[in-house]
Amino acid sequence: MEKNEYVVIKAIEDGVNVIGLTRGTDTRFHHSEKLDSGEVMIAQFTDHTSAIKVRGKAKILTSYGEVESENRK
Ligand code: TRP
């Protein structure tokens, strides 16, 4: 994925967490954003962020398509 591409995350329940993970040899959480139902976050991959983890039920749109995160069953 190009670093300047956007990822759209739409929460479909309260308390969805969007977590940014650091780029480089040390992979750790550097930011956590909490979204409530209906809230949307538009994010990019950057020099500081190489991965994004979504916890909770959300719709995620990228240039690869659309995917839905879920809660464990
Ligand atoms: N300061 C972070 C950065 O520039 C902000 C950020 C960008 C971010 N994309 C993110 C935080 C995705 C969480 C998830 O890398």
Give 25's DSSP letter. Answer: S
**9: burial class by Cβ within 10 Å (0-12, 13-18, 19+)?**
buried
Pick the CATH number of 6-69 from 2.30.140.10, 2.60.40.50, 3.30.160.270, 3.10.129.10: 2.60.40.50
Contact 33, 55 (CB under 8 A): no
Residue type, 35: L
The residue whose C-alpha atom lies closest to atom 13 belonging to ligand 1 is 20
To the question of pTM greater than 0.85 for the whole model, the response is yes
Ligand 1 mutation target, pool 30, 32, 40, most atoms within 8 A of CB? 30
pLDDT at res. 73: 83
Which residue would you say has higher pLDDT here, 50 or 73? Answer: 50
Instruction: Return the domain boundaries, the chain.
Output: 6-69
pLDDT digits (tens, 9 = 90+) for 16-52: 999 999 999 999 999 999 999 999 999 999 999 999 9
The residue whose C-alpha atom lies closest to atom 1 belonging to ligand 1 is 48
